[in-house]
Amino acid sequence: MNMIRTAMLLAVMTALFMGVGYLIGGTGGMMIAFVIAAAMNLFSYWNADKMVLRMHHAVEVDERNAPEYFGIVRDLAARAGLPMPRVYLIQNDQPNAFATGRNPQNAAVAATTGLLDRLSYEEVAGVMAHELAHVQNRDTLTMTITATLAGAISMLGNFALFFGGNRDNNNPFGFVGILVAMIVAPFAAMMVQMAISRTREYSADRRGAEICGNPLWLASALDKIARRAKKVVNQDAERNPATAHMFIINPLSGERMDNLFSTHPDTDNRIAALQAMAGEIRSTPEPQPREENHGPWGARTEAPESRPQPKSEPKSEPRWGRDANGRKGPWS
């Protein structure tokens, strides 16, 4: 059912793209727009994940240089029945995370150093479970391609004034068609893009809570991320605003209202939904504290002593990206 909805959404975006082409250049413009849309969809399908990771200067990590972080993702992927995704770390003080990839077999998850430094083990697990839920639901492909087409529609709208004004013979709607292409079509594309992102955040929150086993872990993480994200500017995200909807919390400044123009639902609403979910399952015993040789999802692969203890380290030092010799992750 999710694949059907995805196909329908992409069909709507492609049709909207072709419609803008028709408003600008008539039948010929529509055919050109169709070819461009098909090429963009194909390119995004194979390369969108690499593009997004490169935009945010993500560095791939493994069990040697980020054992705790990598272990969390591995345990959660096993709980969700997913293939192990590639794991990336972004050197950025804003706590945030996102997932990308065309399918579960080619997925990647990325978290910032700010998220790993400032959240607890359980909160990080809640966040990464949310991202794996996006992978499982195949949201990453849909949201990436939709964002690409929405940006292209906006670009065509900007070109309409320059390339449509002297081609009334090709443009059956004349100036009205150009005006629609400039204003209405990009606005409609933005609405579709935002609706896709916002709806799927609620779904990923719920599925992520099921994967990690406790909705309150994710609820606590969302509260911390939202408060900190308002104070820290994410320069890479500001330079690439089309990727903002992929993050668990909007990384851009100025997005605080739960309305049609925000890329994410209001954080308080998401937290309330998770708390309600926790209430629904309260009769089920809550996950017990980790025993000496067990994490929250079963046996650990490394001794607990290998995990840095948060109280014994300065806050400015990363707790999640070190190797066995204490060296800091990929930037050491």
- Per the annotation, binding residues are 130, 134, 201
Q: Under a CB-based contact definition with an 8 Å cutoff, are residues 213 and 44 in contact?
A: no
CB atoms within 10 A of CB 137: 16
81 φψ region: left (φ > 0), alpha (ψ -120 to 50), beta (else): left
Give the amino acid at 33: A
Distance CA(244)–CA(265), nearest Å, equals 13
Distance CA(117)–CA(68), nearest Å, equals 12
Q: List Cβ neighbours of 269 (8 Å cut-off, separation of 6 or more).
A: 258
Tokens of 173: 């709607």
| Binding site, annotated residues for Zn(2+) | 130, 134, 201
Q: How far is CA 198 from CA 3, 62, 97, 163, 202, in A?
A: 18, 31, 16, 34, 7
Nearest to residue 9, comparing CAs of 98, 107, 141, 126?
A: 141
Distance CA(23)–CA(182), nearest Å, equals 10
Q: Which of 68, 122, 123, 131 is an active site residue?
A: 131
Q: What 3-state class would DSSP assign to 112? A: strand
Scanning 56-138, the segments in alpha helix (DSSP H) are 67-80, 113-118, 121-136
Q: How far is CA 122 from CA 48, 218, 229, in A?
A: 30, 8, 19
Distance CA(255)–CA(167), nearest Å, equals 39
- Can 131 be counted among the known catalytic residues? yes
Q: Under a CB-based contact definition with an 8 Å cutoff, are residues 321 and 113 in contact?
A: yes
Nearest to residue 71, comparing CAs of 307, 332, 251?
A: 307
Residues involved in catalysis: 131
